Chains A and B, each alone.
Chain A
């Protein structure tokens, strides 16, 4: 038996989340979330390529918070299987030998449950390495679940143990701290974002948001693309400093974005009736790293005609008029693809000084203090934290 946080089906709590989760996410996730601390059987998958893992750290991601506070679209209800143990940013150690990896190896988990993990013939996407686009995420020998942490069979990082397939495992290099390693998965997503952004030499890029998604996207864009100016939208003081360290050319407050983009691109600004202003002209590429309506609309409104808007955060409903009128390419970027070697590149990025410094500020909580952890994660920006994680080994 093990201790784990479990997300369960609760219509009243989900309804409450839908109703007020957007406005009072902290209160809801703390006291009315469909989450409970339980003692359950460890996940066990007696199939080739699978192994048990003991969680060392598991991060709290924005998508986890959205799910718990009811802000996530019901679109995703078909690709999860309740009840499940959340946690898809995981650094763990192997309890069993797993093919070439001996027991005791410290690994990070690529959470996407691909055809390989499900024991089915590779779909078209998996066959080409675009594993994050797998079409078989509801079939095979696993319950539906787009990722580890959303599937009732595999468990997740918010439990003391989980199960993972060899195709998901990436050994952690010697010398990496657990806090550093926990950042590899979100960095891999950022690598994928940067590669999907289609940035060409000297393109002007806007990154809306300076939480972990925005900061890592900034780092990846700076390191992996020929981006010229990178303007990052940051709300809090420490985010502004970090954004500069991670490669931002300019950091602006949310209320200043359009004005600053307009200035640096020489665009024209229009003010429609009863609506937010927008630009004619603007950046070549905008990355929405928040997923809120405001952030997405800012990204759309600040991008030049024919430019590209990358959805890095899980998007909220928003006015897409600009996408139509300015013929924008709206590009989704979900998780990471094995063909891009995102985890290898992310591991290199995690070794940089900037990320190492950031890793020292990862806040960890034991499972039984989950309410505090979620509150902290909800207010991470304000509290000067970039990543909050559970440490299921800890009892304090």
Chain B
């Protein structure tokens, strides 16, 4: 060799290949990074800034103070959490057995069921919400049918209130719970249940000691998605709540559309964001602790 510094065979060339690969991967994520910066980081930052601007245009905490003091705001937060928690619980109660059932079916039948879950998911939110209105209203399909069948004499009020809001929201949120839960349940080794059974566990016991704990990560993921989406939900509660169920997102909208109060709206948005962040943080701790402790 004539070179002074001895280079190992193809060392430089291989280093170049590796750095090219890294560059390519970075390039692939670039469009997303730009989009996130332009559409999320900057506007959210701008809102954050606005939330600290008072009516007179100077820096102030008045937007937040109002939120703490005003009974209307506190009621809105209570309503938002109540509706979100109820929707999440009902979704879990309906979704878990369904996901379990689907996970026990053969692939073919499970896929057919999955289409049943997904078709509403693919339909416009607005269309589905108005469809519920048609079904549930005073002279709607449901009330008319119940009266004709003689089940009730007077139409019952199942829309423009909490009940109607919950019905609509559960229907819309259900797929968000089922999808991660079903994926998780599918990945559970069916032999573990057989093993439990061969070792002497009744089917009920095997379910609670083996299947349920193993399905927790999927259930938690589903609950989280549903709850967080509920917190910021607008269309369905606005239409099916009939103005009686006021959630945070609706207040944000009215702050801007009626009162042109960007500061108040932003402050509300920031609080929602922070609450969501805290919940996600706690949940991530729960999941990782669950995994640390058991795996």
Do A and B interact with each other, yes or no? no
